[in-house]
Amino acid sequence: MNSSTIAAISTPVGPGGIGIIRISGPESLNILKRVFVRESNDAEFYSHRVYYGKIFDPKKGLLIDEALAIFMQAPKSFTREDVVELQSHSGFVVLDRILSAVLDSGASLAEAGEFTKRAFLNGRIDLSQAEAVIDMISAPCEAAVHIASQQMSGLLKESVEDIRSALMGLRTRIEAKLEFFEEGSTSEDQDFVLKSIKREILPKIEKLIQNQKDSAIYRDGILLSIAGLPNVGKSSLLNQLVQKETAIVSEVPGTTRDIVREYLTIQGVPIVLCDTAGLHDSIDPVECLGIERTRNQIQQSDTILFVIDASRPLMDEEKRLIESLKTKRTFFLLNKIDISDKNRVDALKTQIQQDKVVTISAKTGEGIDALKDMLFRGIVESDFVKHHEVGIPNIRQRKLLEKAAEKLKRCNREIVKGISEDMVSEGLKEVVAIMENIIGSRDREDLYDTIFSQFCIGK
Ligand SMILES: Nc1nc2c(ncn2[C@@H]2O[C@H](COP(=O)(O)OP(=O)(O)O)[C@@H](O)[C@H]2O)c(=O)[nH]1
Ligand SMILES: [Mg+2]
């Protein structure tokens, strides 16, 4: 346990109904008694009860604010230390004065993430759970919150521990042979290790890596670009999807030159939506620059919305573009159906010959909900969030898992070549160490400092 007592403002700074100051460490209760005065003058605080009183500046004896105080006796608290929470009115000056009073009474200012770090160092949570706290705070959408909360419950930790103990089992088997039989292990043992790695351990690691890849869209969102010839209604579509007049809509072709970005979520998936300059041969140098940017943007995007004006026949240039988009996930949108007719739309569909075709009117909003539905189904191909059982690593953990998989594959190749048992055992030991770094073995100060410094102060 840490001997110092730390404090910080734990709620966002700014005017608000309630602000919370959190204190953690052995002096928490004494500090509470120094700054907080109850109406009844009763000095006793029972754990996990809420008390009403007033906070005074202990140096000057001045009243700061009325407040509620909660004392949480160790180990039943977030940090497993004695914790006090003071709930006052929010507002920068009030909270700052209370924090000063608490610091004057014996606490030191907490560093970023120090509360969570203590929870980790005191064994309340493992590293993957601590990282889930960061993910939870910064989750951009519901699905990301869901992933983070699963992580906090320790699902990944269980999977990693499972893999770790399987590896330990293999090591023990080899080591035992090395200890007791001079002639070393038999080819039967080597074969057993080889098969266990290949059939049991590697698939588990690979599943975790895949889970991280699949979940990335929930954490980072996807990049969706609207492309097409000038004047087909790209900017109108962006405005319709985000329900505001972000991009300039005009009947003058070549209006949009720079890339316009907006953010939206479709059923919890964060999306960065980009409007681009219309693609065509232009002689205007500024427009040409815009078109160049559009081409780069298309390259970088996860998915393209290719807009076609359905009130006129397909242009040759459009045919070429449709062909060139074959390698990208593209949705083809037949726009302006409010001024087109069924025969023309059907003819266009036959010409385009793609399955992801949606008819819309960016002007009236017709077909936009169907488009959103189709996008969601097309992008989130699996029922990923609800149906994974082994936990979802973050990018740091995925890198370690990839390293582990690489080492195991190498280990297997070397077993086939006939390396010595102690080399195999050494290889397995390295992979066990990697597994321990994923969940954290509580003695890697350097690693923790980097991870916890990503937190905000007060968490
Ligand atoms: N009738 C009709 N007009 C549209 C529709 N979408 C866009 N427009 C019009 O087409 C013109 C070009 O639209 P804009 O969004 O600027 O196209 P962009 O050049 O592709 O970005 C404007 O006059 C829009 O009002 C639509 O669905 N129906
Ligand atoms: Mg435009």
Could you tell me which CATH number the domain at 6-110 has? 3.30.1360.120
Architecture of the structural domain at 154-217+394-441: Up-down Bundle (1.20)
> 37: part of which helix (H) or strand (E)?
strand 36-38
Residues 6 or more apart whose CB falls under 8 angstroms from that of 366 comprise 337, 338, 360
Region at 233 (left for phi over 0; alpha for psi -120 to 50; beta for the rest): left
Dist CA 270 CA 196 (whole Å) = 39
Distance 455 CA to ligand 2 centre (A): 40
Nearest to 7 by CA among 104, 73, 74: 104
State the amino acid at position 310 in one-letter form: A
Ligand 1 centroid to Cα of residue 234, in Å, is 7
Three-class SS state of 457: coil
Which residues have CB less than 5 Å away from ligand 2 (the ion)? 234-235, 256
Helix (H) or strand (E) holding 220: helix 202-220
Contact status, residue 390 vs residue 159, Cβ threshold 8 Å: yes
Quick one: the chain helix, strand, coil %, rounded to 5? 50, 15, 35
The response to whether residue 335 sits with its C-beta less than 6 Å from ligand 1 reads yes
The finding on whether 278 has its CB within 6 A of some atom of ligand 1 is yes
Residue 67 Cβ < 6 Å to ligand 1: no
Q: Nearest residue CA, atom 23 of ligand 1? A: 251
Which atom of ligand 1 has the smallest separation from the CA of 238? 15
Strand order in the sheet with 63-72: 36-38, 50-56, 63-72, 83-88, 19-24, 6-9, 108-109
240 touches ligand 1 (CB under 6 Å): no
One-letter amino acid at 25 equals G
Two tokens at 457? 């102060």
Atom of ligand 1 minimally distant from the CA of 229: 20
Question: Phi first, then psi: what are they for 406, rounded to 5°?
Answer: -60, -45
Cβ contact 294:276 at 8 Å = yes
Q: Are 124 and 79 in contact (CB under 8 A)?
A: yes
Ligand 1 proximity of 251 Cβ (cutoff 6 Å): yes
- Angle between helix axes 202-220 and 395-417 (nearest 10 degrees) is 160
- The residues near 291 (Cβ < 8 Å, ≥ 6 apart) are 277, 278, 279, 280, 282
Q: Report yes or no: 225 and 298 within 8 Å, Cβ to Cβ.
A: yes
Separation of alpha carbons 355 and 352, rounded Å: 9
Q: What is the pLDDT along the chain (459 residues), one digit of tens a residue?
A: 568 999 999 988 777 889 999 999 999 999 999 999 998 777 789 999 999 999 999 888 899 999 999 999 999 999 999 999 999 998 888 999 999 999 999 999 998 888 988 998 888 888 888 888 877 877 766 777 777 887 788 888 899 999 999 999 998 888 777 666 555 455 677 888 899 999 999 999 999 998 888 777 777 778 889 999 999 999 999 999 988 777 777 777 777 777 788 888 777 777 888 888 888 777 788 778 878 888 888 888 888 999 999 999 999 989 988 988 888 889 999 999 999 999 999 999 999 888 889 999 999 999 999 998 888 777 765 445 555 567 788 888 898 999 999 999 999 998 888 877 788 889 999 999 999 888 876 556 666 676 777 777 777
Ligand nearest, relative to CA of residue 290: 2
Report whether 272 contacts 222 (CB < 8 A).
yes
**Contact 82/26 with Cβ under 8 angstroms?**
yes
User: Helix, strand or coil for residue 50?
Assistant: strand
Distance 220 CA to ligand 2 centre (A): 26
Strands (DSSP E) found in 236-347: 260-266, 269-275, 303-309, 329-335
In this structure, which residue's CA is closest to atom 19 in ligand 1? 231
Of 424, 387, 421, 396, nearest to 408 (Cα)? 424
| 245 CB near ligand 1 (under 6 Å) | no
CB 326 within 8 A of CB 352: no
Query: Measured in angstroms, how far is the CA atom of residue 396 from the centroid of ligand 1?
Result: 45
Q: Tell how far the Cα of 359 is from the centroid of ligand 1, in angstroms.
A: 14
Residues in Cβ contact with 243 at an 8 Å cutoff, skipping those fewer than 6 apart: none
**Which residue blocks in 355-420 are alpha helix, DSSP H?**
368-379, 395-417
CA of 251 to the centre of ligand 2 (A): 9
Domain 221-379 top-level CATH class: alpha beta
Distance CA 74, CA 47 (A): 9
Contact 230 CB / ligand 1 (< 6 Å): yes
Among 232, 236, 248, residue to substitute to test ligand 1 (most atoms within 8 Å of Cβ): 236
Calpha distance 357→346 (Å, rounded): 11
Where do you find CATH 3.40.50.300 in the chain? 221-379
Q: Return the ligand 1 atom nearest residue 236 CA.
A: 15
Strand order, beta sheet including 222-228: 260-266, 269-275, 222-228, 303-309, 329-335, 357-359
Q: What spacing in Å lies between the alpha carbon of 376 and ligand 2's midpoint?
A: 24
Which tokens sit at 79? 């940090």
Decide whether any atom of ligand 1 lies within 6 Å of the 233 Cβ. yes
The Å distance, Cα 381 to ligand 2 centre, comes to 30
Closest CA to 380 of 262, 456, 267, 244: 267
Nearest CA residue ID for atom 10, ligand 1: 233
Cα first-last separation, the chain: 18
Q: For residue 85, report the distance from its CA to the centre of ligand 2, in Å.
A: 53
Q: Among candidates 74, 79, 65, which has minimal Cα distance to 110?
A: 79
**pLDDT of the residue at 133:** 83
Distance 285 CA to ligand 1 centre (A): 23
Q: Which atom of ligand 1 is nearest to the CA of 237?
A: 15
Output the furthest CA–CA distance in the chain (Å, rounded). Answer: 87
Q: Within 13 Å, how many C-alpha atoms sit on residue 455's CB side? A: 25
Residues of the chain with CATH 1.20.120.430: 154-217+394-441
Cα separation, 126 vs 135, in Å, equals 14
What CA–CA distance (Å, rounded) separates 92 from 12?
A: 9
